[in-house]
Amino acid sequence: MNRRAVIALGVLLVFGAVRLPLELKLERDQRAARFHGVVLDVNLRERLGQMGFLAALSGFRSLVADGLWIHAHTVWERTDWGAMKVDFDAVTTLQPRCTMFWDMAGWHMYANASIAAYENRRQPREALRLKAQREYWKLGEDYLLRGIANNPEASVLYKNLGLMVYKERYHDHCKAAETYARGAQCADAPVFLHRLAVYELAACPGHEQEAYEKLLALYRKGEDERLPTLLKLLGELQEKLGVPAAQKIDIPPSNP
């Protein structure tokens, strides 16, 4: 082996010895940050470019993510939804523990982009506009689901997934109830989230008896829970389930 080859081999060995602990530390940091399988890979490098990728590897993930977030809002003003999604994918990959990024990325998709798709008069066929709209709903749902996977303790993601996606867009009361119930278990959950889960359960076919029992439990907690929506649903389910008169809660008539 000639001298040049020996030197080259030595450089490679030194480089490998220096690089290995750095790569192991990066892997540990990613696991500690709960990336859940999201890694700094070649796909991310293509999104960030060489300098951005190197900055991310050098511990500047937060700075790179903030820059991409600003850029995403710039392309939003141009209604370039595809470019915006590319930015959001990179941002959420770099900072998966930032719930705001997941939440706002989802909102832009299920709300802004979906509305623009349906109102796109360059597409004369309503069926295709509806198809595009639902595709953006799905993208918004996906951001929130992946946000929950990385931040299972963040009740705001469950709330918006249940309300803005399952209830308001898909009109899927069963999924909304399930999502609210999961969010209500989070330590930071607002007190109304459990109430919303019960309300949605009342509209879920086949769960009328379960919903009635849970509504009754809320009613028995006291005046603070006896809100108009609860009283209305309780009255409706009493009639639907044929609750005996002696067991019925006396529901006062609503104001006209």
**CA nearest neighbour of 164 among 89, 86, 99, 108:** 108
Going by C-alpha positions, the residue among 108, 104, 103, 119 that lies closest to residue 81 is 108
Q: How many CB atoms lie within 10 A of CB 97?
A: 14
Three-class SS state of 22: helix
DSSP 210: H
CA 15 – CA 6 distance, rounded (Å): 14
The one-digit pLDDT tens for each residue of the chain (256 residues) are 556 544 544 444 444 444 445 444 544 554 444 444 444 444 544 454 444 444 444 455 677 777 788 888 888 888 899 999 989 998 898 889 999 999 999 999 999 999 999 999 899 999 999 999 999 999 999 999 999 999 999 999 999 999 999 999 999 999 999 999 999 999 999 999 999 999 999 999 999 999 999 999 999 999 999 999 999 999 999 999 999 999 999 887 765 4
pTM above 0.85, yes or no: no
What is the C-alpha R_g of the chain?
26
Nearest residue to 148 (alpha-carbon basis) of 109, 180, 115: 180
The candidate with the shortest Cα–Cα distance to 84, out of 143, 164, 156, is 143
Q: How far is C-alpha 43 from the geometric centre of its chain's CA atoms?
A: 22
Cα separation of 67 and 241, whole Å?
Answer: 56
